[in-house]
Structure 1
Amino acid sequence: MDSGLRERKKQKTRAAIRRAGRRIAAAHGWEAATIERIAAEAEVSPSTVVRYFPVREDILLTDENDEHLEALLRARPAGEEPLESLRAVTVEAIGAALAADPEELRVRARLMADTPAVRARFTETTAETGRRLARALADRTGRAPDDLEVRVFAAAVLGALREAVLYWAERGLAEDLTALLHRTLDTLRTGPTLPARP
């Protein structure tokens, strides 16, 4: 089997496992989405599920977007403020996910809000995404990838976006998520505004 065909087969298997896990979780909750049940739904063996997803929560949370997100960030105009660059690429990525499969994004958000193990793993995967984006930001700003300011900034933006998604889920997914993301990033720039004095 040539390498291209082998890779397509792997991607197809990975996608089938993800779909199965998310379908079961949406219908019955995350605890019901056992490795065995996911394997049966995806028509693969339990060992295949574990091989592709050693951490069960990654079935729900991971996708192939980190590399794409980094490429988008590197392609932003030179001289653009880092916050605006990150705003452009993250809002575009989440908007694309909403357009492609809004129900999948809603399921993921609900489970992140309601399931401590999923929320904890989401925090870990967000940190991994932050490290990738920090490398791109470092290159764009002429700093080292382990520069404190670069690391803090990337982590702050992604942590803020994580909170926006949780806020959205905790309030019944009723608000406009894109507007919430812009509001979140505006808050990073200005901080909370003080209430008007009587």
Structure 2
Amino acid sequence: MIQAHAVRLFSERGFDTTTVNDVAAAAGVSAMTVYRHFPTKEDLVLADRTGAVITERIAATPAGQPLVRRVGGALVEAARAMTAGDDRFLLARLRLMIATPALRARHLDNHYVLQQAIVDGLGVDTGDPRARFRVQAAASACLAAMHTALEQWAADDGRTDLPDLIAQALAAAFGDETFR
């Protein structure tokens, strides 16, 4: 509820001009309650379960599949789960991330954390630096394709199917029509 009020206010008034106190008042809670659940103002937009959903999807893929297919397929399936039903909240959050420099910077940090979660979720032999490098490269490339799809989805005002856009971006990046 707090996050929904925050995203609404940030979208209406702007991220920089809306205070945590404004969010707290709109949500009917104290600023301390907001900070208890969202340690920073940026977290009011960026906090989500994306990483957990993606790593769950990766864990469900057969270990014998190529890395890019495992990661890419998990990204498509996670997008399908996250856009089921009303995806306007996700779209509003994405627009804020794209339009707000402070959120873009924190989003990049979150991107790195997600990449590491994917690598960890794939169960890479940590004693083999080359194997870890290959997995990091595959995860990073897939996340870059997803990012491109997310920007297109926002530009399309959410009218296109996000999982399909991610699959198209993966197919364009890797020349693999099986993502489509």
> Common fold, TM-score beyond 0.5?
yes
Report matched runs for 1:100-115 at 5 Å: 100-115=85-100
For 1:64, give the aligned amino acid.
R
Question: Do the aligned partners of 2:57 and 2:78 also contact (CA within 8 Å) in 1?
Answer: no
Match of 1:31 in 2: 16
Count of aligned pairs: 173
Is 1:143 aligned to residue 128 of structure 2? no
Supply the distance in 1 between the matched residues of 2:52 and 2:165 (Cα, whole angstroms). 24
**Map of 1:182 onto structure 2:** 167
CA 1:170–1:65 in 2, change beyond 3 Å: closer, same or farther? Answer: closer
Residues in 1 aligned to 2:170 and 2:133: alpha-carbon distance in whole angstroms: 20
| TM-score (normalised: structure 2) | 0.84
1:93–1:156 CA distance, 2 compared to 1 (3 A): same
Unaligned segments of structure 1, at least 5 residues:
1-15, 192-198
Question: What does the per-residue CA deviation read over 1:46-85, in whole Å, with 9 as the maximum and x for residues that have no partner?
Answer: 1222232222112112212322321221121231222222
Using the alignment, how far apart are the partners of 1:187 and 1:143 within structure 2?
29
Partner of 1:58 in structure 2? 43
- The amino acid of 1:144's aligned partner reads T
Q: Does the Cα contact within 8 Å between 2:77 and 2:163 map onto a contact in 1?
A: no
Aligned partners of 2:145 and 2:169 also within 8 Å: yes
Pairing 1:117–2:102 present: yes
Q: Distance in 2 between matches of 1:186 and 1:143?
A: 28
* Structure 2: distance between partners of 1:172 and 1:68: 24
Q: What is the root-mean-square deviation in Å for CA atoms of aligned residues? A: 2.2
Shift of 1:164: 1.8
Q: Which residue number in structure 2 is paired with residue 40 of structure 1?
A: 25
Is 2:145 the counterpart of 1:163? no
Specify which of 67, 80, 98 is matched with residue 52 of structure 2: 67
Highest CA radius of gyration, 1 or 2? 1
Alignment partner of 1:77 is 2:62: yes
Letter in 2 for 1:143: D
2:115 to 113, 126, 130: 130
Secondary structure at the aligned position of 1:125 is classed as: helix
Which contiguous aligned blocks of 4+ residues in structure 1 show a shift greater than 6 angstroms? none
Q: Give the Cα–Cα distance (whole angstroms) in 1 for the partners of residues 162 and 52 of structure 2.
A: 23
Q: Secondary structure at the match of 2:107?
A: helix
1:97 maps to: 82
